[in-house]
């Protein structure tokens, strides 16, 4: 369900920061620090997108793009080179997008989402039991009946479903739903969104079977019912 991104960046602090931020946005991240790391991981694993620094200790990201040009893997070059000729060169080398550092997490996430939408062969639809969730189309149905979910409820549902059968702590959910400033959010904010989502999804919100509490740990989307 979750999109897998390989991020190649030799600055360890930037690498860790972007990986952490994108994981909060629901992506599964793998990190590397060189062209050699990229080639090794691409040979062993499947990814949905490559986020690649242009200047690496053992080679040029532009060259790797050229080598991958005939591949179906979408590539975003993330680099400090901001000249127009560099941008054109990156796109000519086979990159699908070119982002100049520094870049905010919000902008980076939006560009990643846009590229994945363009390159996806078909929309991902989640089906389980009475539910059918088309996240890209923001269409959510239970027993075929369209549900009206707020933007926050949609985001929470996507996060829970992407981590089905895994416990997510209140703090993790809080940081994901309020990425910009989680410290300013009221303490019961997560519980409020959980309650509202349960009222729309559960047969009996007081006895939830899909959005479950795990005592002392957090919340979990359970697929056992389906």
Q: What is the pLDDT of residues 135-175, one digit of tens each?
A: 888 899 999 999 999 999 999 999 898 888 888 888 888 88
The CATH number of whichever domain residue 152 belongs to comes to 1.10.10.10
User: Is the domain of 114 the same as that of 10?
Assistant: yes
Q: Does the predicted TM-score (pTM) go above 0.75?
A: no
Structural domain span for residue 137: 125-221
Domain count, the chain: 2
Is residue 205 in a domain? yes
Whether residues 8 and 99 share a domain: the answer is yes
Q: What is the radius of gyration, based on Cα positions, of the chain?
A: 20
Residue 123 has pLDDT above 70, yes or no: no
Please check whether residues 96 and 130 belong to one and the same domain.
Answer: no
Tokens 């979750």, residue located? 2
Q: Identify which of 57, 56, 61 has the alpha carbon closest to the alpha carbon of residue 76.
A: 61
Give the CA distances from residue 75 to residues 54, 96, 124, in Å, rounded to whole numbers and listed in that order: 11, 5, 20
> Does residue 111 share a domain with residue 27?
yes
Query: Domain boundary at 119, 150, 182, which?
Result: 119
Q: Does one domain contain both 115 and 148?
A: no
Q: Which residue has the higher pLDDT, 165 or 207?
A: 207
Q: Does residue 77 come out as left (phi exceeding 0), alpha (psi in the -120 to 50 range) or beta? A: beta
Q: Give 92 or 188, the one with higher predicted confidence.
A: 188
> Residue 226 falls within a domain, yes or no?
no
Q: Measured between alpha carbons, how far is 67 from 81 in angstroms, rounded to an integer?
A: 20
Domain boundary among 119, 139, 158: 119
- List the Cα angle 57/112/174 in 5-degree steps: 105
- Mean pLDDT throughout 119-144? 83
On whether both 103 and 129 belong to a single domain, the answer is: no
- Please provide the distance, in angstroms rounded to a whole number, between the alpha carbons at the two ends of the chain: 17
Residue in 105, 106, 98 with CA at minimum distance from that of residue 79: 98
Residue ending a domain, among 96, 119, 142, is: 119
Give tens-digit pLDDT for 39-49: 999 988 889 99
Shared-domain flag, residues 66 and 28? yes
């Amino acid at each position: 369900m979750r999109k897998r991104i390989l991020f190649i960046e030799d600055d360890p602090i930037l690498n860790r920061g972007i990986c952490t931020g994108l994981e909060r946005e629901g992506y599964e991240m793998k990190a590397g620090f060189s062209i050699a790391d990229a080639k090794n991981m691409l040979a062993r694993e499947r990814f949905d997108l490559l986020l690649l620094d242009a200047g690496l200790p053992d080679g040029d990201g532009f060259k790797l793009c050229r080598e991958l040009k005939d591949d179906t893997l979408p590539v975003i070059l993330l680099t400090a080179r901001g000249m127009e000729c560099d941008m054109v060169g990156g796109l000519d080398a086979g990159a699908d997008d070119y982002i100049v550092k520094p870049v905010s997490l919000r902008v980076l996430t939006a560009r990643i989402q846009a590229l994945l939408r363009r390159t996806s062969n078909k929309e991902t639809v989640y089906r389980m039991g009475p539910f059918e969730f088309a996240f890209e189309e923001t269409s959510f149905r239970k027993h075929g009946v369209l549900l009206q979910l707020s933007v926050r409820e949609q985001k929470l549902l996507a996060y829970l479903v992407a981590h089905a059968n895994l416990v997510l702590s209140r703090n993790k959910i809080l940081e994901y739903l309020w990425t910009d400033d989680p410290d300013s959010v009221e303490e019961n904010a997560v519980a409020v969104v959980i309650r509202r989502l349960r009222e729309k999804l559960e047969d009996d919100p007081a006895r939830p079977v899909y959005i479950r509490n795990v005592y002392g740990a957090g919340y979990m989307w359970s697929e056992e019912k389906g």
